[in-house]
Every structure is written in structure tokens, then in C-alpha cells.
Amino acid sequence: MTASGSPRVYDGRPVEERRAERREQFLAAGLAVFGEHGYQGTSITMVCKAAGLARGQFYEHFGSREVLLLAVYDLIQADARRAVVEALAEAEEADAAARARIAVRAYAGSIGSNPHRARVSFVDIVGVSAEVEKHRVEQREIWVQFVTAELKHTRGADFVPAGGYRAAATGFIGALMALVHQWSSGGTSAELDDLIEVLTRFLISVM
């Protein structure tokens, strides 16, 4: 902000707007380059070249390549949750089995149908460092809470699945991620339908 309280402007545009735009460029470049070459095969120079921005600008937003990886991973997970929420919102009156199928298809479509998103989510994020692993587990916990809330919404607050909510939701999330990862590497639409049916039956069984 300037002394007058107005946003700082550079080349006719607010500085913060330009910063936000550059960050989005780096995120898009990170997804593309990580998705194509893998985290270990990617350098900051490659990301900057893909973004069309300078190395100094990279460090204005991300302290390291690992920080960018986490930001890209978080973006993928947030987009997937948004896709599931929007899909379920359009099926509010559907029964439990239908809502399960809709949710799984939305998740698979958001992550599994994009090879770059799938690679970052299921391959590159694993085993990078203790800090990245901690972050991955925290993101998985968000999904566990999401599934728990959906179970309670569908069956009512008094219902408790066998083994408790945490075990049921964690088991489902593990199966979901493993099967979508498997399908993402070239699966057909028929195989996606089979995947959805397996996961729907899994979810219904705990409900």
C-alpha cells in the first residue's frame, strides 16, 4: 500500500495482483514439469523456464523446490475436494449408493484422468522427506474427515460404522487412492466403472 492507502501499482496493474499471477504461473509450471519429469528429475531452472519467469521471482514465492511441490500437491487436493463437493451438491436427494458413485467419479476425474496430477499425487509426493511425508499424512487426514462427514450426513449422527468412523474412513480413502492411482496409468472408461463399483460396495458395506 502507498502512503495514501492505495494499492501499489506497477506498469498499470496492482503489484499484489501481479505477484498472485506469477505464483499461479509457477504452480502451473510446477505441475507440468513435475508431472512430466518427476520431482527428482526437475530443477528450479526447468520450472522457471516453463513459467517464463526469473529465478529471483521463484524465490519470492517458494523457498525451495520442495515448497513448490507441496503447494502443487495442495492445489491438486483442493481441486479434487471442490470437484467432489460440487458433484454431491447436485445429487443432494440421491441415495447412499448413488452419492458414493458420484463422489468417486468426481475424485477420479479430477486427479486420475490427468496424468500430471496423478503422478504428483501418488508418486512424487511419496518419500521426498520427513516434512513432505508429514504434510501428505495431514492432507490424507482432511480426506478422512471429509468422508466421515459424508457418512454422518448420509446415515445420521447416531450411526457408527463397525470399527468406528476413523477406521472406516481411512480404509476407504486408502482403497480410493490406490485404485485411482492404478487406473490413472492408462485405464479405460470400463475399468473406471469397475473401480467405482468396487469402491461403492466398499463404502456401502461400512454403512
pLDDT by residue (tens digit) across 37-82? 999 999 999 999 999 999 999 999 999 999 999 999 999 999 999 9
pLDDT surpassing 70 at residue 7: no
Among 12-21, 44-53, 127-136, 184-193, the range scoring the smallest mean pLDDT is 12-21
End-to-end CA distance of the chain: 53
Which residue ranges does the chain devote to CATH 1.10.357.10?
64-206
pLDDT, residue 3, reads 47
pLDDT, residue 97, reads 87
- Provide the H-helix boundaries in 62-129: 65-89, 96-107, 115-119
Burial classification of residue 72, based on how many CB atoms lie within 10 Å of its CB (0-12 exposed, 13-18 middle, 19 or more buried): buried
106-120 residue pLDDT tens: 999 999 989 999 999
pLDDT surpassing 70 at residue 11: no
Provide mean pLDDT across the span 166-171: 91
Report how far residue 176's alpha carbon sits from residue 200's, in angstroms, rounded to the nearest whole number.
10
- For residue 61 the three cell numbers come to 514465492
Which positions ≥6 away from 199 have C-beta within 8 Å? 100, 104, 172, 175, 176, 179
Q: What percent of the chain has pLDDT over 90?
A: 67
Closest CA to 200 of 94, 116, 114, 113: 94
Q: Is 90 helix (H, G, I), strand (E, B) or coil?
A: coil
129 conformational bin, left if phi > 0, alpha if psi -120 to 50, beta if neither: beta
pTM for the whole structure: 0.87
CATH topology of domain 64-206: Tetracycline Repressor; domain 2 (1.10.357)
Provide mean pLDDT across the span 142-146: 93
Cα torsion angle, 48, 51, 56, 59, sign: negative
Provide mean pLDDT across the span 128-155: 91
Average pLDDT over all residues of the chain: 89
Which CATH class, in words, describes the domain spanning 1-63?
Answer: mainly alpha
Which residue ranges does the chain devote to CATH 1.10.10.60?
1-63
Report how far residue 74's alpha carbon sits from residue 194's, in angstroms, rounded to the nearest whole number.
28
CA distances from 196 to 21, 100, 119 (A): 37, 8, 20
